[in-house]
Amino acid sequence: MARKAHRRGSSRAIVVSRPSKPMVIRQTIVKKAKHHARKHYGGSARGLFSPARIGIATGAFALGMLDKSGINVPELPLIGKAGTLGVAAYFLSAGGRNKFLDEMATAALAVAAYELGSTGKVVGADYVAGF
């Protein structure tokens, strides 16, 4: 009898299909309409009497009252009594967190800089600052 032909294996190709790309649905971008700033007229009084300027003026007033009262304040070299009060007020304001003391420090340091620039020495100090 004749031998039957035996199939060793099938030669079928395995077809792997790619998964389809996910569908991405995007919303259209909503852009806000541009609004042009309007010009404001007549605001000079608010700029002159802003809260920051009033605070600095109040700080300068407090500096003058302390100076007038004759409280003995130690002086730092080069900045004098006004500068010493300004530095003390700055440190007491906790780095600017207390607005009144911060504005008082600004006023006192401005007065000390004015005295140093105009006369070459600070008020209350017996030395000349080097001008």
- pLDDT for the residue numbered 113: 84
Task: Give phi and psi for 103, each to the nearest 5.
Answer: -70, -35
Is it the case that residue 46 has pLDDT exceeding 70? no
* Selection from 119, 122, 123, 114 nearest residue 78 by Cα: 122
**Structure tokens that stand for 15 in this block:** 């077809």
**Residue 70: which residues within 8 A CB-CB, separation 6 or more?**
none
- pLDDT for the residue numbered 130: 53
Higher pLDDT, 39 or 129: 39
**Distance between CA atoms of residues 100 and 67, nearest Å:** 18
Q: What is the DSSP letter of 76?
A: B
- Give the start-to-end residue ranges of the domains of the chain: 52-119
| Mean pLDDT, rounded, for 96-120 | 83
**Structure tokens that stand for 14 in this block:** 């395995």
- pLDDT for the residue numbered 44: 61
Task: Determine the 3-state secondary structure of 67 from DSSP.
Answer: helix
Q: What is the DSSP letter of 105?
A: H
Higher pLDDT, 69 or 3: 69
| Mean pLDDT, rounded, for 26-51 | 73
Is it the case that residue 82 has pLDDT exceeding 60? yes
